[in-house]
Amino acid sequence: MRCPEHYLQHPDRIKLELLPIVPAPQWSDASLPLGLSLLSFRLYTPGKWLRITAPGVDPDLGINALVVECLPVPGQESQYRLKLAFPDQEQLFRARMLEQLCQICISQEDAPDDDAEKLALEWIESEAAHFPSDGL
pTM of the model: 0.84
DSSP state of 16: -
In a domain, 112, yes or no: yes
Question: What whole-number percentage of the chain has pLDDT above 70?
Answer: 91
- Show the domain range for 32: 6-130
Count CB-CB contacts under 10 A for residue 87.
21
Q: So what's the pLDDT on residue 136?
A: 40
* 133 φ, ψ (degrees, to nearest 5): -165, 155
In a domain, 106, yes or no: yes
Q: So what's the pLDDT on residue 73?
A: 93
In a domain, 62, yes or no: yes
Q: So what's the pLDDT on residue 109?
A: 81
Q: pLDDT averaged over the chain?
A: 85
Structurally, how many domains does the chain consist of? Answer: 1
In a domain, 110, yes or no: yes
In a domain, 1, yes or no: no
pLDDT tens-digit readout, 16-56: 999 999 887 777 666 678 899 999 999 999 999 999 999 98
First and final C-alpha spacing in the chain:
19
pLDDT-derived band at 2 (thresholds 50, 70, 90) equals low
In a domain, 136, yes or no: no
Question: What whole-number percentage of the chain has pLDDT above 90?
Answer: 38
Alpha-carbon gap, residue 46 to 91, rounded angstroms = 18
Q: So what's the pLDDT on residue 134?
A: 41
